[in-house]
A = this chain, B = another copy of it.
Amino acid sequence: MRASRFFISTLKEAPSDAEIVSHKLMMRAGMIKRLGSGIYTYMPMGLKVIRKVEAIVREEMNRAGAIELLMPLVQPAELWQETGRWDKMGPELMRVKDRHGREFAIQPTSEEVITDVVRGEIKSYRQLPLNFYHIQTKFRDERRPRFGLMRGREFTMKDAYSFDRDLEGMQKSYQVMFDAYTKIFTRFGLKFRAVAADNGAIGGTGSHEFHVIASTGEDALVYCPTSDYAANMEAAEAVASGTRAAPSAELVKTATPKAAKCEDVAKLLGIDLSKTVKTIALTVETETDGKLDKQYFMLLLRGDHELNEIKAAKVPGLQGAYRFSTEAEIAEVYGCKPGYLGPIGTKAPVTVVADRTVANMADFVTGANEEDFHFTGANWGRDVAEPHVTADLRNVVEGDPSPDGKGVLAIERGIEVGHVFQLGTAYSAAMNATYLDENGKPAPLQMGCYGIGVTRILGAAIEQNFDDKGIIWPTSIAPFELVLCPMGYDRSELVKEETEKLYAAALAAGIDVIVDDRGLRPGAMFADWELIGVPHRVVIGDRGLKDGNLEYQGRRDTEATNVPVADIVAFIKARVQQ
Q: Which residues of A contact B (CB under 8 A)?
A: 5-7, 9, 33, 35-36, 39-44, 47, 50, 65, 67-76, 91-92, 94-96, 98-99, 104, 106, 113, 116-117, 120-121, 130, 132, 137, 139, 141, 143, 153-154
| Top 4 closest pairs, chain A to chain B, by CB | A91-B99, A96-B96, A42-B70, A36-B76
Pair B96/A106 contact, Cβ less than 8 Å: yes
Given contact pairs A73-B154, A98-B141, A9 touches B121 in the complex (Cβ within 8 A): yes
* Contacts beyond the supplied A39-B72, A43-B117, A106-B106: 18 A-B pairs with Cβ under 8 Å: A5-B67, A6-B67, A7-B69, A7-B121, A33-B117, A35-B75, A35-B116, A36-B104, A40-B72, A41-B117, A50-B70, A72-B154, A73-B106, A73-B139, A74-B139, A74-B153, A94-B98, A95-B96
List B contacts of A137 (CB < 8 A): 73, 137
A89 to chain B, nearest CB (A): 12
**Cβ of A120: which chain B residues have Cβ within 8 Å of it?**
33
- Indicate the member of A39, A70, A76, A121 with the most B CB atoms within 10 Å: A70
The prevalent SS among residues of A at the interface is mixed
CB distance from A73 to the nearest CB of B (A): 6
Contacts of A5 in B (CB 8 A): 65, 67
- How often does this chain occur in the complex, in copies? 2
- Asked whether, in the complex, the Cβ of A74 is within 8 Å of the Cβ of B154, the reply is yes
B7 touches A99 (CB 8 A): no
Contact call B91/A94, Cβ cutoff below 8 A: no
Give A421 Cβ to nearest chain B Cβ, in Å: 22
Give the shortest distance, in Å, between A157 (CB) and chain B (any CB): 14
**Contact present for B69 and A99 (CB under 8 Å):** no
Residue of B with least CB distance to A130 = B7
B7 contacts A132, CB within 8 Å?
A: yes
A and B contact pairs by CB, cutoff 8 A, 22 listed? A7-B121, A7-B130, A33-B117, A33-B120, A35-B71, A35-B75, A35-B116, A36-B104, A39-B74, A39-B75, A41-B72, A41-B113, A41-B117, A44-B68, A50-B70, A73-B137, A74-B106, A74-B153, A92-B99, A95-B96, A96-B96, A99-B143
Rounded to whole angstroms, the CA-CA distance of A129 and B33 in the bound complex is 20
Q: Which residues of B contact A73 (CB under 8 A)?
A: 73, 106, 137, 139, 154
Are B41 and A68 closer than 8 Å at their CB atoms? no
Please name all residues of chain B whose beta carbon is closer than 8 Å to the beta carbon of A154 when the two chains form the complex: 72-74
